[in-house]
Amino acid sequence: MARNSFLVLAIQVLLFFQPLLAQDNYYFVSFTDKDGNGFNINQPEAFLSAKAIGRRQKQSIDVYEQDLPITLSYKTAISNQGVEVYEESRWFNGIIIKSTASEAELLKNLSFVASTTFLAPQNYAGRRSGKQDELELADTPTDTLFQNEILNVKEIHSQGYLGQGISIAVLDGGFRNVEILSAFSHLYSLNTLEYTYDFVSKTSNVYQYSDHGTKVLSFMTAQIPGSYLGIAPEANFMLFVTENVPSEYRIEEYYWLIAAERADSAGVDIISTSLGYNTFDDPQMNYTQEEMDGNTTVVVRAAHIASEKGIIVVASGGNEGNKAWSIITSPADIRDGLAVGSIRSDYGRSSFSSLGPSADGRIKPDVVAMGSSAYLVNENGVISQGSGTSFSAPQVAALMAGVWQAYPEFTSLELLNAVRNSSTNAVSPDDEIGYGIPSFIAINNYLESASGRQPVLVYPNPVAATELLKVKIVNPSNINQVQIELFETSGKKLASNLYEVSWSNNIASIQLQHLSQGLYFLNVLFESDNTPESYKVRIIKL
């Protein structure tokens, strides 16, 4: 009797697990090659937009086999096996399918299949529309937001750089209500919303589920007259939903990869992503801290390829600073990109902001912006506050749009170098705030120096009675202070003052209103690379 009971139990267990063994899961199928795909790297116009080709040409970047589309016959052959085929990746040369484990295993017998990788279970795509658990405080902001002041946003806008002509791809978990909020209405009236796609629901409707992307986008482009203005309000945008907020599986990294490919093909200039990966719902997918090395995770490999195509990738550093993990999450470990940490209004590191370095010893985060109680526009169109590196990263991405608009002749790598080397902590970068706070003025000064101009600029000259004489140190990287002396033509010294200089403060303003009209001599004394130098110029006072 006991034996029969055991047999019945065994049969029940098998019947219970049978559906699980036969369920459809998501897999990535990698191909061995791109033979017979019908495309040629010497004819990129067949598979890349004119903007994508132009970005490569401007930065002397070649088109590689990696850029070619996959071989369509391979995709068709797999579809003919009775499995569902979804997205395809040219950079990783493969496709995302939905099939049973046994069907995926059988695909390995095809001569052109290199491997199959489990990405997510079949119920992965279930969504819920509840709000994310994050800090948000109702508040009434002033017209001038401190978060914009430290980045010199007013200076960007005063010079007319609103992001015009720069394309930014935003990869997030959802952009709820963007299409109906007046703060974003200009995206439609100016026709600057270039493309939208939700990889999870497989539709162009990105305006549901999560509002995280709505808040992220607001830092870059939201407009509420008299109260709020994004940093790059007139840039072009592509919105991608790559994240299924309620769950975490490796498939989301592959969605990120394919979104970056689409953005590249369409000619995007900047990718802004406030997503980070380290642990998953399936523990076998988890990464270790040692794998935050810029080479290992799926998402950072994709981000690195994007950077190789001349795209500036800006990623949030992560909110692990006060947790057991503590360090950055991927793709913040990117090599040629910007990982952005968070600071408070007192310039101290936000306690939640992830620490560095990367596993291979590089400075992380690269830079920081204000992510503690930062002003944003929420899904109701109301200005409120939120905290997280998710909100500091888009500020830097939008700043880069203004910089690249101002200096289109520079490559993405040259701009990344300028940002790091001109930020407030560039002299002694660390694992808390990296190279420090970037600013438009500092980056502007650094790039002017890189243009090979003379070491000191004095202007206006002649100088009117109502004007201030400006003395600008073009390259203050090795200069801490300068001595400025003013002389009459007789040689009599009229004034001598010592000025501290830095990338963000390299202009001395001198009042000459009290002087009579005529000719004067200005002498600028400083040390460059421990060598005393002087610069003399004749000044005409009107």
pLDDT of residue 132: 36
- Residue 136 predicted with pLDDT over 90: no
Q: Is residue 51 part of a domain?
A: no
Contact call for residues 152 and 441 (beta carbons, < 8 A): yes
Confidence band of 453 (pLDDT split at 50, 70, 90): low
Q: Is residue 49 part of a domain?
A: no
Same domain, 284 and 432: yes
Write the CB contacts of 30 (distance below 8 Å, at least 6 apart in sequence): 92, 93, 94, 113, 114, 115, 116, 117
- Residue 12 predicted with pLDDT over 80: no
Same domain, 258 and 239: yes
Q: Is residue 64 part of a domain?
A: no
pLDDT of residue 135: 41
| Residue found by looking up tokens 């909100």 in the block | 391
CATH code of residue 531: 2.60.40.1220
Same domain, 431 and 528: no
Confidence band of 529 (pLDDT split at 50, 70, 90): low
Same domain, 296 and 319: yes
Same domain, 345 and 379: yes
pLDDT of residue 143: 41
Give the whole-angstrom CA distance, residue 385 versus residue 175: 17
For 253, the 3-state DSSP assignment is helix
Domain's final residue, options 449, 482, 505 = 449
| Residue found by looking up tokens 């992560």 in the block | 318
Supply the pTM of this predicted model. 0.83
pLDDT of residue 475: 75
CATH code of residue 23: 3.30.70.80
Q: Is residue 188 part of a domain?
A: yes
Amino acid present at 223? Q
User: What value, to the nearest 5°, has the Cα angle with vertex 507 and ends 538 and 152?
Assistant: 150
Give the whole-angstrom CA distance, residue 435 versus residue 356: 12
Mean pLDDT throughout 49-56?
97
- Residue 505 predicted with pLDDT over 90: no
Same domain, 399 and 302: yes
pLDDT of residue 9: 45
Domain's final residue, options 55, 90, 124 = 124
- Residue 166 predicted with pLDDT over 60: yes
CATH code of residue 228: 3.40.50.200
- Residue 350 predicted with pLDDT over 60: yes
Residue 10's CB: how many other CB atoms inside 10 A?
10
Same domain, 426 and 515: no
Q: Is residue 129 part of a domain?
A: no
Domain's final residue, options 449, 483, 512 = 449
* 100-121 pLDDT tens trace: 999 999 999 999 999 999 999 9
pLDDT of residue 190: 95
How many domains would you assign to the chain?
3
Q: Give me the domain span that covers residue 114.
A: 2-34+70-124
Same domain, 372 and 412: yes
Same domain, 271 and 236: yes
Contact call for residues 539 and 463 (beta carbons, < 8 A): yes
* 356-400 pLDDT tens trace: 999 999 999 999 999 999 999 999 999 999 999 999 999 999 999
Contact call for residues 329 and 277 (beta carbons, < 8 A): yes
Same domain, 284 and 333: yes
Tell me the DSSP string of 458-527. Answer: EESSSB-TTSEEEEEES-GGG-SEEEEEEEETTS-EEEEEEEE-BTTB-EEEEE-TTSPSEEEEEEEEEE
Same domain, 529 and 407: no
| Highest averaged pLDDT of the listed ranges 73-87, 476-490, 515-529 | 73-87
Mean pLDDT throughout 23-49?
96
Confidence band of 141 (pLDDT split at 50, 70, 90): very low
Q: Is residue 116 part of a domain?
A: yes
Same domain, 208 and 103: no
Mean pLDDT score of the chain, rounded to an integer?
89
Mean pLDDT throughout 228-234?
96
Amino acid present at 262? R
